Amino acid sequence: MLAAHGVSFAYDRGAPLVLDGVSLSIERGGIVGLIGPNGSGKTTMLRLLSGTLKPASGRVTLDGADVGALSRRHLARRIAVVPQDTHSAFDFTALEIVLMGRYPHLSAFELEGATDLSIARDALAATGTIGLEARPFATLSGGEKQRVVIASALAQASDVLLLDEPTASLDPGFQLEIAALLLRLNRERGVTMAVSTHDLNLAATLCSDLVLLKGGRAIAAGATRDVLTRENVRILYGVDADVADHPRAGHLIVVPLARVE
C-alpha cells in the first residue's frame, strides 16, 4: 500500500546520506515498526513516507502511485502524521485540535460543517477522549495529549497513520494505554500504521513487521518474530540482550543486559 523503493536522502546537497537505498513496504492493515538507534533515519523515513520530504533517489508510492505526483491535499487525506512533539503553544481546546485535522478536507475559506464535527467527535470517542473535548489542550496530561493528537490524525486520514515515537515521553501506564489504543484502531478500523520507536518491547507488542535501520541502511526487515533477535539487537545497539517469549505478555520481550562494544 505504502512503500519505499531504494530510497536515498540527504538534508543538504553534498551532505552525507541520511538514508541510503532503503526499501520497505507497509501492507494495508499492517503495523510496521521502524527501529534503530538515535540518528539512524527513522524520523526522516517517516517524512519521506508522508511526502513531506522528497527522496534524492528512489521512489515512495501509495497504492502504486508516486507520492511526489500526488497533491498535498490528496496525500493529507490519506496519510496523517503524529509527530514526536505534541506541544501546542496556543490555547486551543481538544475539540479544536481534532477539528484541525479536517483542514485538508475543506476548500479555501470553507468552515468546518456538521459532518466535520461529527467525524471529529467520532475520533475523540475512538481515542477515549470525548470527555475532554472542551478542555484546553495545554492543560491535558501527556497521555491525554497524545490521545487527542492521535484523534486529530484520525479525523484527518483514517487510512494510514505515521507515528513518530508515540510513547517516548509517557509513563508506563500511558505507554500501555497508547499501545492498546493503536492496536484497537488497527483491528477495529483497519488503520494501517508505521511507528518509529526506541522501545523494542512496544515494537514487539504492536508491530507485525519491523524494519531495522542503522546508519541510514536497513540491516534487516521482516516479520517481528524473525527479525527481533538477540543478534540483530546486538548489531543495532551494541547491546547484549535476552530476547524471549513472555508467556503473560503474549509476545517477545527484550531485556538489555550489557553493552558489548
Q: Does 167 bind ligand ADP (CB under 6 A)?
A: no
Q: Which of 8, 23, 25, 43 is the binder for ligand ADP (CB under 6 A)?
A: 43
Q: Please report, as residue ranges, which positions from 191 to 220 form the binding site for ligand ADP (by CB under 6 A).
A: none
Report the candidate in 56, 68, 60 with the shortest Cα–Cα distance to residue 16.
56
Q: Does 102 bind ligand ADP (CB under 6 A)?
A: no
Report the candidate in 205, 146, 208, 134 with the shortest Cα–Cα distance to residue 171.
146
Q: Which of 40, 146, 156, 158 is the binder for ligand ADP (CB under 6 A)?
A: 40
Total residues binding ligand ADP (CB under 6 A):
10
Question: Beta strand 19-26 with 2-9: parallel, antiparallel or unpaired?
Answer: antiparallel
Q: Does 38 bind ligand ADP (CB under 6 A)?
A: yes
Which residue's entry shows cell 489542550? 137
CB 70 within 8 A of CB 2: no
Residue 260 backbone dihedrals phi, psi, to 5 degrees: -115, 0
Q: Could you tell me the smallest distance in angstroms from the CB atom of residue 10 to ligand ADP?
A: 9
Q: Does 236 bind ligand ADP (CB under 6 A)?
A: no
- Rounded to the nearest angstrom, the gap between the alpha carbon of residue 142 and the centroid of all alpha carbons in its chain is 17
Does residue 248 sit in helix, strand or coil? Answer: coil
Q: Does 39 bind ligand ADP (CB under 6 A)?
A: yes
Q: Does 42 bind ligand ADP (CB under 6 A)?
A: yes
Q: Does 166 bind ligand ADP (CB under 6 A)?
A: no
Residues that bind ligand ADP (CB under 6 A): 11, 18, 36, 38-44
